[in-house]
Amino acid sequence: MIIKSKGIVLGYIKYGDSSIIARIFTEESGYGSYIVNSIRSQKTKKSIGHFQPFSILDLILYVKETRDLQRISEFKNHYPLHHLHHDPIKSSITLFLTEVFSKLLQSEQSPNPHLFSFAEESIKVLDALESGVANFHLQFLLKIGPHLGYAIDEIDNLFSSTDRLSPSSEVHKRMEVLMNEPYGVGLGMSRESRNEVLDEILNYYEHHAHIHKPRSLEVLRSILN
Mean pLDDT by 10 residues, the chain (225 residues): 95 94 95 92 86 97 82 94 95 97 85 95 97 94 88 62 60 85 87 88 86 92 90
pLDDT at 154: 63
pLDDT attached to residue 203? 87
The CATH number that domain 2-79 falls under is 2.40.50.140
Looking at residue 165, its pLDDT comes to 54
Q: Which residues contact 180 (CB under 8 A, 6 or more apart)?
A: none
Q: Where are the alpha helices (DSSP H) in the chain?
A: 88-104, 113-128, 136-143, 157-160, 169-180, 191-209, 217-224
* Alpha-carbon gap, residue 177 to 170, rounded angstroms: 11
Q: Give the model's pLDDT for residue 109.
A: 72
pTM: 0.91
The confidence score (pLDDT) of residue 157 equals 62
Pairing of strands 30-36, 19-26: antiparallel
Cα–Cα dist 100/91, whole Å: 14
Q: What's the pLDDT at 19?
A: 94
| Residue 140: closest CA among 197, 193, 74 | 197
Residue 215: the pLDDT is 93
C-alpha to C-alpha distance for 35 and 137, rounded to whole angstroms = 29
- What phi and psi, each to the nearest 5 degrees, are found at residue 58? -95, 130
Please, where in the chain does CATH 2.40.50.140 lie?
A: 2-79
Q: Which CA distances in Å does 202 have to 6, 52, 141, 156, 213?
A: 28, 24, 9, 15, 7
Q: What is the pLDDT of residue 25?
A: 96
> CA quadruple 33, 35, 36, 41: dihedral positive or negative?
positive
